[in-house]
C-alpha cells in the first residue's frame, strides 16, 4: 500500500469511525425516543376514549360516541378509532381502518405493519348501595366488568419522517466534518509526504535503469540529505552504464563477427560435403565390393571370421558416412525435390518387401494397411522418410510389432508408422529431430547409428512441405505421422478415362489465365489453344476483367502474383460474374506450410510447378466435362 494512501487512511479512518458511531448513536436514540412518545400518546388517547365511552355503552346510547371519536381522529397520526362489543361487534367507529388490519380484542399494543394498535377495555365498576329499599345489592369490592373494547390505530409515518430527517441531518453533519478532515489531511500529506513520494518515484525510475532522474533538494528535513545522495548515486550509475554499454557494444560486434565466420565455415563444410558426396561415396562403395569379393577366397579359413567382422564394420561405417553426407546435402540446400505422382500401394508394398525379413528375424510382426490413392511428392525423398521411420521403429522395438498405414485425412494421405517399442519420454520429444541426438543410446554405440535418421526425416519433410508429427507413450509405443497431398490430377485423369476418345480428342470452352510471368502466359496460351480451347490471358486480375467479354469456363491462376494472390483473384472474378459457374485451378511453386494450409482451405485443385502437360490436360478435361 502506498505511503500517501496510508497517510490518508490514518487521518480519515478514525474521524469516519467516530462520525459513524456518533451518528448511529444519536439516530437510534432519537428513533427510540420517538417510538416511546408515540406509545405513550396512543395509550393515553385510548384510555381517555375508554373513560368517555363507559356511559354510552352502559346506557346503550352510542350517539355521544360519534363526536368523541371524530374529534379524536383529528389528532396527529391517528388513523382510526373504534368501540366494540366484547364479542367483536362494532358499537361506533371513526376514521379509516386499513382493510387488512385484524388486531385482537386484547389489552395492549400491537404492531401491525406501519401502524400501532392500542386496545383498552371499557370497564364497568358496580356500585355497592347500603339501602334497605334495594332488595338486591352488589357485593362489596366487586371486580370491574369489561363491557366493551376501544381500539386506536396510529400510523408510524410521522415518526418515520422525523427519523429520516434526523438521519439526513446527521449525514449532512458527518459529510461536512469529513470534508473538513479530508482537506486537513490532504494539506498535511502534501506538505509532509511529497518529498518522500518524490524519492520513492526516483528510486523506482533508477530500478528501471533510468539513471538520468534528478531530485529537487527542496525538503526541509533530513530528507534533503537523502535527495542529494540519490542524485549522486544516479550520476555514478549513469557513468557506469555508459562505460558498460561501450564494452557490451564492442563484445557484441566481436561475437557477431565470430558467429558470421562460424556460419560461413559451417556452410562451407556442408557445401563441400554435398558437392563431394559422389566422390566420397565411391571409395566406400569400392571397399564394400572388395570385402565382398574376398569372401570366396577365405571360405573355410580362420580369416573368414575376421572378414565377417570387417564386413560388419564396413557396413556400419558406410551407414554413418552416408548419414553425414545426406544431412550435409540437406543443410547446404543442394537437394531439389522432383515432384510427381506415385501410388500409395506400390510405395508401401515396396517398403514392406524391404523390411519384413528384418522384422521376422527380430521376432516382430510387420503389418501393412493402405488405401487406393495417388499422392504428389518426390518418390525418392518420401521413400527415404518412410524407410528411416520404419528402420527407427525396428531398432527400438523388442516385442510386439510394427504397423505401416496410409489413410485419407482431408485432402491428403496420412502415412503412419506405429510401433510397440519403448516409447519416448516427454522431455525428449522436442529433441528427437535434432542431429546426433539419441535418447536410448547414452553409451554412443555406433552400431545404432549417429542419431541422424530422424534429423534427416525432419529436414526432408520440411523440404517437401509435408507436415510431420509424433505421439508417444513411454512403455507403450510411438507413432510417426506425415501428411502427403493427394494427386488430384490423377483423380481427374481416372474420371476422364471413362469418357470416349472422341470426347478427349478436342476440348471446348474459354479458359482465363492469370500469371505475372510473360513466358508462362505465352506457353500456357499456346498449349491450351492447341487443345481447341479459347484463351484470355492477363498479368493481373484487373487486366483480365478488361479483356473478358463473358465469364470463362475455367480460371487458371498462379498463386503468387506480386501484391495479389490467386485466391483473391478468383474471388474478384466470381464477384464480377456472380451468376456464372466456372472452375478454378491454382498453380504454385510455394510449398510452405502456411501456403498449403491456405490453399487447402480454399478447396480448389492445386498443381505444383513444374506442371506436366499430361497432368494439366487431364485436370482441365475433367473440370470442363464436369460442367456439361
Instruction: Write a three-state SS string for 122-155.
Output: EEECCCCCCCCCCCCCCCCCCCCEEEEEEEEEEE
**d(C-alpha 151, C-alpha 109), whole Å:** 10
Residues 6 or more apart whose CB falls under 8 angstroms from that of 171 comprise 23
What does the pLDDT read at residue 496? 44
Beta bridge partner(s), residue 534:
510
User: What CATH number belongs to 340-486?
Assistant: 3.30.565.10
Q: Which residue has the cell 382510526?
A: 80
Q: Is 301 exposed, middle or buried (0-12, 13-18, 19+ CB in 10 A)?
A: exposed
| Residue 475 or residue 597, greater confidence | 475
Rg over CA atoms, the chain: 52
Query: How is residue 162 annotated by DSSP?
Result: H
Q: Please check whether the two domains, 3-128+142-163 and 495-626, share a CATH topology.
A: no
Instruction: Identify the DSSP state of 486.
Output: B
Question: How far apart are the C-alpha atoms of 393 and 423, rounded to whole Å?
Answer: 10
**Which region holds residue 177: left if phi is over 0, alpha if psi is between -120 and 50, else beta?**
alpha
**Residue 30: pLDDT over 90:** no
pLDDT number for residue 282: 52
Q: Residue 271 corresponds to which cell in the numbers above?
A: 557445401
Q: How far apart are CA 316 and CA 446, in angstroms?
A: 7
CB atoms within 10 A of CB 9: 13
CB 153 within 8 A of CB 95: yes
Most confident option among 286-295, 485-494, 595-604: 595-604
The sign of the dihedral angle between the CA atoms of 276, 277, 278, 282 is: positive
Burial label, 601 (beta-carbon count in 10 A; 0-12, 13-18, 19+): exposed
From CA 377, how far away is CA 408, in angstroms rounded? 16
CA distance 444 to 98: 101
Nearest to 583 by CA among 575, 592, 591, 574: 574
pTM exceeds cut of 0.85 = no
Compute CA 119 distance to the chain's CA centroid, rounded to the nearest angstrom.
71
User: Distance (Å, rounded) from C-alpha 56 to C-alpha 73?
Assistant: 19
Higher-confidence residue of 513 and 598: namely 513
Q: What is the pLDDT of residues 206-226, one digit of tens each?
A: 888 788 888 887 776 677 788
Q: What is the pLDDT of residues 90-109, one digit of tens each?
A: 888 888 876 556 667 888 88
For the structural domain made of 3-128+142-163, what CATH number should be given? 3.30.450.20
> How far is C-alpha 402 from the chain's CA centre?
38
Average pLDDT for residues 388-407, to the nearest whole number? 91
pLDDT at 426 exceeding the cut of 60: yes
Band (499; pLDDT cuts 50, 70, 90): very low
User: Taking the CB of residue 463, how many other CB atoms lie within 10 A of it?
Assistant: 17
What integer best gives the mean pLDDT of the chain? 79
Confidence of residue 136 (pLDDT cuts 50, 70, 90): low
Each domain of the chain, given as residue ranges in start order, spans 3-128+142-163, 277-332, 340-486, 495-626
Question: Could you tell me which of 579, 576, 585, 590 has the C-alpha nearest to residue 617?
Answer: 585
Prior bond to 90 cis, omega within 30?
A: no
Candidates 502, 507, 537, 534; CA nearest to 522 is 537
Cell matching residue 220? 526541509
Alpha-carbon distance of 84 to 152, in angstroms, equals: 11
Tell me the fold of 495-626.
Answer: Rossmann fold (3.40.50)
Question: Which of the two residues, 124 and 534, has the higher pLDDT score?
Answer: 534
Half-sphere CA count of 360, side-chain side, radius 13 A: 6
pLDDT in tens, 236-290: 888 888 888 888 888 888 888 888 877 776 666 655 655 555 455 555 555 665 6
DSSP per residue over 540-597, as a string? SHHHHHHH-SS--SEEEEESEETTEEHHHHHHHHHHHSTT---EEEEEE----HHHHH
CA distance 312 to 225: 83
Amino acid at each position: 500500500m502506498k505511503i500517501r494512501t496510508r497517510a490518508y487512511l490514518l487521518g480519515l479512518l478514525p474521524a469516519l469511525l467516530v462520525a459513524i458511531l456518533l451518528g448511529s448513536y444519536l439516530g437510534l436514540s432519537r428513533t427510540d425516543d420517538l417510538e416511546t412518545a408515540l406509545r405513550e400518546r396512543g395509550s393515553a388517547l385510548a384510555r381517555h376514549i375508554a373513560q368517555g365511552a363507559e356511559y354510552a355503552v352502559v346506557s346503550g346510547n352510542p350517539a355521544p360516541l360519534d363526536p368523541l371519536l371524530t374529534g379524536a381522529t383529528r389528532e396527529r397520526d391517528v388513523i382510526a378509532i373504534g368501540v366494540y362489543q366484547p364479542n367483536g361487534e362494532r358499537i361506533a367507529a371513526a376514521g379509516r381502518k386499513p382493510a387488512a388490519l385484524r388486531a385482537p380484542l386484547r389489552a395492549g399494543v400491537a404492531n401491525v405493519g406501519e401502524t400501532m394498535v392500542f386496545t383498552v377495555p371499557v370497564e364497568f365498576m358496580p356500585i355497592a348501595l347500603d339501602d334497605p329499599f334495594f332488595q338486591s345489592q352488589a357485593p362489596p369490592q366487586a371486580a370491574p366488568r369489561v363491557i366493551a373494547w376501544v381500539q386506536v390505530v396510529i400510523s408510524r409515518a410521522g415518526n418515520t419522517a422525523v427519523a429520516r430527517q434526523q438521519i439526513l441531518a446527521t449525514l449532512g453533519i458527518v459529510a461536512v466534518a469529513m470534508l473538513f478532515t479530508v482537506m486537513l489531511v490532504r494539506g498535511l500529506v502534501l506538505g509532509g509526504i511529497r518529498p518522500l513520494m518524490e524519492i520513492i518515484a526516483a528510486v523506482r525510475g533508477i530500478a528501471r535503469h533510468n539513471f538520468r532522474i534528478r531530485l529537487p533538494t527542496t525538503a526541509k528535513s533530513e530528507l534533503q540529505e537523502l535527495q542529494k545522495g540519490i542524485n549522486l548515486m544516479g550520476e555514478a550509475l549513469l557513468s557506469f552504464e555508459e562505460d558498460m554499454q561501450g564494452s557490451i557494444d564492442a563484445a557484441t560486434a566481436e561475437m557477431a563477427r565470430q558467429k558470421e565466420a562460424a556460419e560461413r565455415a559451417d556452410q562451407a563444410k556442408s557445401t563441400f560435403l554435398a558437392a563431394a558426396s559422389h566422390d566420397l561415396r565411391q571409395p566406400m562403395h569400392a571397399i564394400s565390393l572388395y570385402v565382398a569379393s574376398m569372401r570366396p577366397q577365405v571360405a573355410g579359413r580362420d580369416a573368414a571370421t575376421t572378414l565377417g567382422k570387417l564386413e560388419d564394420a564396413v557396413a556400419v561405417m558406410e551407414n554413418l558416412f552416408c548419414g553425414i553426407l545426406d544431412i550435409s546435402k540437406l543443410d547446404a540446400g543442394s537437394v531439389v525435390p522432383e515432384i510427381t505422382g506415385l501410388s500409395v500401394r506400390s510405395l508401401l508394398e515396396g517398403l514392406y518387401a524391404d523390411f519384413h525379413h528384418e522384422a521376422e528375424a527380430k521376432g516382430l510382426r510387420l503389418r501393412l494397411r493402405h488405401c487406393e490413392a495417388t499422392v504428389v511428392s518426390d518418390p525418392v525423398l518420401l521413400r527415404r522418410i518412410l524407410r528411416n521411420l520404419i528402420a527407427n521403429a525396428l531398432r527400438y522395438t523388442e516385442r510386439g510389432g510394427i504397423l505401416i498405414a496410409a489413410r485419407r485425412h482431408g485432402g491428403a494421405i496420412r502415412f503412419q508408422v506405429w510401433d510397440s517399442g519403448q516409447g519416448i519420454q516427454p522431455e525428449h520429444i522436442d529433441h528427437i529431430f535434432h542431429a546426433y541426438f539419441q535418447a536410448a543410446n547414452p553409451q554412443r554405440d555406433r552400431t545404432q547409428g549417429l542419431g541422424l535418421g530422424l534429423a534427416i526425416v525432419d529436414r526432408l519433410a520440411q523440404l517437401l512441405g509435408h507436415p510431420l508429427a509424433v505421439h508417444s507413450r513411454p512403455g507403450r509405443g510411438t507413432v510417426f505421422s506425415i501428411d502427403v497431398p493427394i494427386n488430384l490430377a490423377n483423380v481427374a485423369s481416372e474420371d476422364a478415362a471413362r469418357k470416349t476418345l472422341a470426347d478427349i480428342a478436342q476440348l471446348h470452352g474459354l479458359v482465363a489465365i492469370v500469371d505475372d510471368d510473360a513466358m508462362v502466359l505465352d506457353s500456357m496460351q499456346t498449349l491450351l489453344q492447341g487443345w481447341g480451347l479459347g484463351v484470355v490471358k492477363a498479368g493481373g486480375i484487373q487486366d483480365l476483367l478488361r479483356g473478358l467479354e463473358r465469364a470463362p469456363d475455367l480460371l487458371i491462376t498462379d498463386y503468387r502474383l506480386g501484391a495479389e494472390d490467386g485466391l483473391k483473384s478468383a474471388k474478384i472474378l466470381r464477384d464480377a460474374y456472380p451468376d456464372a459457374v466456372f472452375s478454378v485451378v491454382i498453380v504454385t511453386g510455394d510449398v510452405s506450410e502456411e501456403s498449403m494450409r491456405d490453399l487447402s482451405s480454399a478447396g480448389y485443385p492445386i498443381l505444383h510447378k513444374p506442371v506436366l502437360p499430361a497432368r494439366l490436360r487431364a485436370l482441365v478435361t475433367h473440370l470442363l466435362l464436369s460442367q456439361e
